[in-house]
Amino acid sequence: MAIKTLFFDLDHTLWDFEANSEKALAQLFEEFNLIKHVRSFRTFHTEYKKVNAEAWHQYSKGIITKDILRTKRFKDTFQKFGFKNDELVQKMAKGYLKISPYQTQLFPNAKETLEKLKSDGYALHIITNGFKEVQFIKLEQSGILDYFDVVLCSEEVGKNKPARIVFDRALSLANAKAEESVMIGDSYQADIVGAENAGIQAIFFDPSFEHQDKKHKWIIRDLKKIPETLVWM
């Protein structure tokens, strides 16, 4: 059966989360003079990424809420450097949400690939675990919102990917059939396993060769490989 519908993850797949987050954090590091507490931005950023990854893991498991996540990642990072400042935690959390969604760096060939897929007649949609109030800003500011018909943020469902209900809801909203759909994402567990458990084929986007231990039939390192990959699926 021919593929008609494509679902994309957003962060780390189209929108370069790491690059955009680093820009926002660098601005906040300077604005709030964190050099008083940490010897360099690079040192701060390295620890923050570890703390943030763990916080997102806890959020995805339902252990913490998004409001806790937003402050916890800064509070725990500060603690790594031996200082506590609840007021600064709140300022960093608010500042990050204000600045980061307006960063616009996409992965190489993102727009060109979306344009190609759209012209080839595929229906394009987004399934993201990111928060609704910032994901639409990211899409709009980076100039790719108009490529997508449905943008589903998992918090609207009450579960995060890889929960099957998220993919089932996306299929319903897109009026699509699982067997005629493909999911493209960077998270093996959330995007690939989650989609396949819902009967959707998946393309694993791994640009940095971070998951060479993962065995999957369809793996790409560059988004421009999507059109030619779809031909073989």
Predicted confidence at residue 61, as pLDDT, reads: 85
- Say whether both 37 and 137 belong to one domain: no
> Structural domain tally of the chain?
2
Predicted confidence at residue 22, as pLDDT, reads: 98
Give residue 178's Cα distance to chain centre. Answer: 22
Predicted confidence at residue 210, as pLDDT, reads: 77
- Say whether both 62 and 158 belong to one domain: no
Give residue 225's Cα distance to chain centre. Answer: 20
Residues of the chain with pLDDT below 50 are none
From residue 134, alpha-carbon distances to 31, 186, 209 in Å are 22, 19, 28
Q: What is the CATH number of the domain that holds 68?
A: 1.10.150.240
Domain boundary among 80, 102, 124: 102
Residue 209 and residue 213: Cα distance in Å, rounded? 9
Rounded to two decimals, the pTM is 0.94
Domain boundary among 78, 102, 126: 102
DSSP 105: P
Q: What is the CATH number of the domain that holds 156?
A: 3.40.50.1000
Is there a contact between 1 and 179 (Cβ–Cβ < 8 Å)?
Answer: yes
Ordered DSSP codes for 40-63 = -HHHHHHHHHHHHHHHHHHHHTTS
3-class secondary-structure state, position 158 = coil
pLDDT tens per residue across span 12-64: 999 999 999 999 999 999 999 999 999 999 999 999 999 999 999 999 888 99
Q: By residue range, what is the domain housing residue 189? A: 5-16+106-232
Instruction: Dig out the tokens for 1 from the structure.
Output: 């059966």
Domain boundary among 102, 124, 140: 102
3-class secondary-structure state, position 194 = helix
From residue 5, alpha-carbon distances to 124, 136, 149, 176, 199 in Å are 6, 20, 11, 7, 13
Predicted confidence at residue 90, as pLDDT, reads: 97
Quote the strand ranges of the chain, DSSP E.
5-8, 123-128, 150-153, 181-185, 201-205, 219-220
- Say whether both 155 and 222 belong to one domain: yes
Predicted confidence at residue 214, as pLDDT, reads: 67
